[in-house]
Amino acid sequence: MGTSSPLDGITVLDLSSVGPAARASRILADYGAGVVKVGPPPKKAGVQIDPPAYAYSGHRGMRRLGLDLKSDAGREAFLRLAEHADVVIESFRPGVSDRLGIGYHTVAMRNPGIVYCATSGYGQTGPRRAWAGHDLNYLGVGGYLDCSGRGSGGEPALPGATVADIAAGGMQAAMSIMAALVERQRTSRGDYLDVSIADGVLSMMSLYADEYLVTGEVPGPGHYVLTGRYACYGIYPTRDGAWLTVAAIEAAFWANLCRALDLERWIDHQYDDSVQDRIRADLTAAFAADDRDAWVERLGPADCCVAPVLSVPESVVDAQFEARHAVVEAESVTLGRFRQVGAVLAGQGPLDEPVSVKDMSVSDCAAVLSAAGFGADEIEVLEREGVVA
């Protein structure tokens, strides 16, 4: 990282291993926060999912601590750590953190300034609060899937990424935490953040939901320009079996595209429902005449809102991302020298390369506990009893 980052001096205790909460702490770390990943000690292995060594950027820039939260000593150790922290992130089912004795009210008694972020599928209240779930479930209940394209059997298409985990959950949590930290500067008080991933999906769908609530228009595939109603916004095959994205929503961009494809006759019919099938057929025929990259070279710079559908292997070597240093060199004992997506969000980074990624088995137990005021003798006892690792 550079000499100064927005969240320098902020300490985060992250009790999650995967999912939205882990994505949130990844974002916070790349903004400069000191994140401590708190997981079970080896004797409790299997309690949490262990992500692959490369996942979540290999937890670059983070410290790790194994802690038995089901023991009295482990619970007290966590509370002492929380006294010196700014943020706690957890992703237990509603009620679990309280049963463990590390819930918000208990932590806040020790540290009134703590920002405590509880991430869960459906939130801490409501009839689904205790339901198990994953990304696809939250996209389903929030209206996202019903507005997506359809498979051959009429089923909503599976998304190509865990959109709910990433945006509705992880980014929501990180944004809420940063807002609470700003508020704390004014009031000196912390906050409890009830981050519901399903709520986040509904927020993502608010453009369509608000339209329905006001007009009664039921959204779905093909109901609107952004869901495929018009030929100017779609995905088209090219001669080499690849694909192009066309998003010429504005009249000027649409006119540019029509002229570039010798389809001027459709310029004034962009949103004419009666001819959309004919326009799509003509666009399909035009793009079938050449390969994807040839079209990209011709249309990309021509204000047509055309771009390629790249595979992940193509994306990570793409010239645009390369120019913005989006992929960085890293190294670790486990993986050797490798590459990973860098700190790419606005205001993050740059990272010093090669990024050093610690082996997943490496613990920062002594350093983390010492920084929180634990003496060497205390740490030795906790380690000997298997409470920390």
* Selected catalytic residue, list 134, 210, 293, 359: 134
Give catalytic status of residue 303 as yes or no.
no
Backbone φ and ψ for 244, nearest 5 degrees, come out as: -120, 145
Query: DSSP letter at 388?
Result: B
Sign of the CA dihedral running 240, 241, 245, 248? positive
Paired with 66 in beta bridges are 39
Residue with tokens 């030929």: 231
Contact between residue 161 and residue 155 where contact means Cβ atoms under 8 Å apart:
no
* Selected catalytic residue, list 165, 191, 199, 282: 165
Contact between residue 135 and residue 204 where contact means Cβ atoms under 8 Å apart:
no
Alpha helices, DSSP H, located in the chain: 19-30, 72-83, 96-100, 104-110, 135-141, 163, 172-187, 197-204, 206-215, 251-260, 276-287, 292-299, 312-315, 319-323, 365-371, 376-384
Q: What is the largest CA-CA distance in the chain?
A: 83
Give catalytic status of residue 165 as yes or no.
yes
Token pair of 311 as six digits: 């595979």
Query: DSSP letter at 160?
Result: S
Burial of 102 (0-12, 13-18, 19+ CB in 10 A): buried
Task: Return the active site residues.
Answer: 134, 165
